[in-house]
Chain A
Amino acid sequence: AAGVIQSPRHLIKEKRETATLKCYPIPRHDTVYWYQQGPGQDPQFLISFYEKMQSDKGSIPDRFSAQQFSDYHSELNMSSLELGDSALYFCASSLVPVDTQYFGPGTRLTVL
């Protein structure tokens, strides 16, 4: 069965650079979520989209923005990167909101 696809899987950036993470949800899933997991921590919700509209927002820094496109894929844009942004970034999708969320393999971002 098709799963959530994330790219790139690994990303290394310098401080103050920008990064774009991409997420391709499971086919027919119209809800996408982004989570950030720091080393040794539990995943923290960043933002979600339903039918291309932002549906919920968590502790997402103003330096980050995200959107969902017409084909339902989503991108997380991160600017002015800081050392503390180093983390695993997960995208998840669900068939409908408030349903099982299926997670992608994550993008490991390292900021040097």
Chain B
Amino acid sequence: SQQGEEDPQALSIQEGENATMNCSYKTSINNLQWYRQNSGRGLVHLILIRSNEREKHSGRLRVTLDTSKKSSSLLITASRAADTASYFCATALVNTDKLIFGTGTRLQVFP
């Protein structure tokens, strides 16, 4: 079964609104990373949050991590049409260096 599951699967908002995406996972992790992918293109790294961290910010991005609930959220504030993409969470499990990706959230921001 999937290590990481994201919800919603799809999200449509207007420019200027905030977008929140959630990620849940099953087993203990070293860190959790968020990536953005434009249709059929490469994966762009957004932010990494370690298992001993609870919140990180980067520009308009805010990521939280709750290891007790095995969940993370990505908040994009004041969204722009250019934020339209798929967003994936990826977990680095303990004792391994591979990333296991979630199912992704497709974000559409309308101008």
Contacts and interface: CB of A to CB of B under 8 A. Distances in A.
B100 interface: yes
B29 to A, nearest CB: 10
Contacts of A58: 98
A103 B98 contact: no
B25 interface: no
Contacts of B96: 56
Interface in A56-112: 56, 58, 88, 90, 92, 94, 97-106, 108
Nearest to B31: A98
Interface stretch (B12-20, B41-49, B53-61, B69-77): B41-49
A43 B102 CA distance: 9
A24 interface: no
Contacts of B101: 42-44
Given A48-B97, A100-B48, A42 B42 contact: no
A86 to B, nearest CB: 13
Q: Which 7 A-B pairs have the closest CB atoms?
A: A97-B97, A42-B101, A103-B43, A45-B98, A105-B42, A98-B97, A43-B101
